[in-house]
Structure 1
Amino acid sequence: MTEQFRSVPVMDIDFTNTTMDVFLNETIHPCLTQAQKCFIVTANPEIVMATRHNARFKETVQSADHVLPDGIGIINAAKMQGTPIDERICGVDVMHHLLAHAAENGYSVFFIGAQEASNKKAVEKAREKYPGLIVAGRSHGYADLYDEAFVRTVVEAKPDIILVALGMMKQEGWIRDHIDRFDKGVFMGVGGSFDVLSGTAKRAPSIWIRFQLEWLYRLIRQPKRIIRVVKAGQFMLLHVPIIHKIGKVIGYNKSRSRKKR
């Protein structure tokens, strides 16, 4: 890989500690220029909590070249444990930077995931917003994405950037299972970002984000997200010093395993 950054461990997950600008300029752009491969996971508290209960998913996240702190909960947790992270790096922002850079430099993008209407609209909006964007291909997330013919289609398209919007675990799992088939590419799971790009879902206004209330905005608009809020609450409780100490005593907090590279 390209530039190496200091990592900050949060619950056995090593987060890349850098800023958006440095990450893009010193890792992503050189990776594309040199036709290398890079697996990016953007992790929030819900994803980290999921790795505690799913060993396979934990191995997948740990195998990524970079795990970015997508979620103010990760930033706050790192600060509470005395190892602050430089900056929150939001996945949807990374996606937009990738699309802009691709359009400016002639790189191609493959869009995988979301419902058909949302996927199609996301590609249309991407082309409108980033003139000159080369779309290597697209597919909604309800096809058989493990079908050999489909995988071969993506591989033979030789995309420079592969955006996978299948939701937590599924998108990272698809990348894990197929990245070795490709000679190059920046691979990133983008969750519901196609819905945001297409206009199907609305991102929180900047003032909500500034005051760390993006979670509340989403909850108001999508009450079914209450389970995610509960998971985030559990995550933060584990980083309250007294609760963390009690957890260690009763064995709830697992010791940090060594990340395999």
Structure 2
Amino acid sequence: MNSKNVVTIMDIGFVNKTKEEFLRDCVKPRLENEEKCFIVTANPEIVMKAREDQAYKEVIQEADYVIPDGIGIVKAAGWMKQPLKERIAGFDLVVDLLQYANERGLSCYFLGAQAHVNEKAVAAVRKEYPNVTIAGNHHGFFDLDDLSIVEAVKESNADIVLVALGLPRQELWINQHYHHFHKGVFIGVGGTLDGLAGDVPRAPKIWIKLNLEWLYRIIKQPSRIKRIGKVFEFMLRVLVKKS
């Protein structure tokens, strides 16, 4: 990707495009040509994990695209005088991909989350996007080295593979087994299957507009509050480096 379309934060290069530009220029051509690509939906937690773990950093750096999924990333880029065009929320990107798949009759594999969440997400997609072919699905409780999972995904010949194993497992799984595949948009989607299943409702639009989706999620999932420390550390490190 052209350097002007990338903003680097803590050695991680983020796509500097709007969501629509990213889909048009980067993702849809891969789908149309039956090529493969690896997308990381990165928030401050992923950047901090990469900072602490060199092997994980290399996995992120080897991805085809890293999108700024997190208002903290967008704010940090602004402080660094390298503004990003917009935040590209992973959930929104997945919804757009499912809509596109529905229009084109593409297939999708759902890998990850708890078994009942996975099944509910698949059922919801069947109802909302009836033209999407469900290539297959499997819960997220398996060993990353389990080649039977890799074979199942490969045999499905899915156009889109949603990997919801949480960080760092989802990125590690994709990176470790990417060479087995000749096609497919592979994207680490964190808790997106929970959202599709309806188990974790998306924040109301006004919260998203005010960049307070993170606070809404903490209110709904208090266990997430322990993760906020990494976000504040990320912001502090960016500010200190800037000064």
5 Å-filtered alignment, 1:139-154, equals 139-144=138-143, 146-154=145-153
| Aligned match of 1:244 | 241
Contact 2:19 2:88 in 1 (8 A): yes
Change (3 A) 1:245 1:138: closer
Change (3 A) 1:126 1:145: farther
Whole-angstrom distance in 1 between the partners of 2:8 and 2:97: 26
Q: Deviations over 1:219-238 (max 9, x none)?
A: 11222112211111111112
Whole-angstrom distance in 1 between the partners of 2:69 and 2:242: 26
TM-score (norm 1): 0.89
Q: Tell me by how many angstroms 1:6 deviates.
A: 1.6
5 Å-filtered alignment, 1:146-185, equals 146-185=145-184
Over the matched positions of the two proteins, sequence identity in percent amounts to: 49
User: Any unmatched runs of 5+ in structure 2?
Assistant: none
Q: Tell me by how many angstroms 1:204 deviates.
A: 1.1
User: Any unmatched runs of 5+ in structure 1?
Assistant: 247-261
Q: Tell me by how many angstroms 1:150 deviates.
A: 2.4
| Aligned match of 1:255 | none
Aligned-residue Cα RMSD (Å) equals 1.5
Q: Tell me by how many angstroms 1:145 deviates.
A: 5.0
TM-score (norm 2): 0.96
| Aligned match of 1:204 | 203
Q: Tell me by how many angstroms 1:143 deviates.
A: 3.2
| Aligned match of 2:30 | 31
| Aligned match of 1:249 | none
Whole-angstrom distance in 1 between the partners of 2:99 and 2:2: 21
Q: Tell me by how many angstroms 1:148 deviates.
A: 2.2
Q: Deviations over 1:65-94 (max 9, x none)?
A: 100000000000000011000010000111
Change (3 A) 1:128 1:82: same
| Aligned match of 1:250 | none
Q: Tell me by how many angstroms 1:3 deviates.
A: 8.3
Change (3 A) 1:139 1:214: same
Q: Tell me by how many angstroms 1:147 deviates.
A: 2.1
Is it true that 1:103 corresponds to 2:102 in the alignment? yes
Is it true that 1:16 corresponds to 2:15 in the alignment? yes
Whole-angstrom distance in 1 between the partners of 2:46 and 2:199: 23
Whole-angstrom distance in 2 between the partners of 1:245 and 1:85: 16
Counterpart AA for 1:220: I
Q: Tell me by how many angstroms 1:245 deviates.
A: 5.9
Is it true that 1:135 corresponds to 2:122 in the alignment? no
Whole-angstrom distance in 2 between the partners of 1:87 and 1:145: 33
Give the secondary structure class of the aligned counterpart of 2:87.
coil
Q: Deviations over 1:82-117 (max 9, x none)?
A: 100001000011111111111110211010000000
| Structure exhibiting the larger radius of gyration computed from Cα positions | 1
Counterpart AA for 1:106: G
Give the secondary structure class of the aligned counterpart of 1:238.
helix
Contact 2:158 2:184 in 1 (8 A): yes
Contact 1:43 1:68 in 2 (8 A): yes
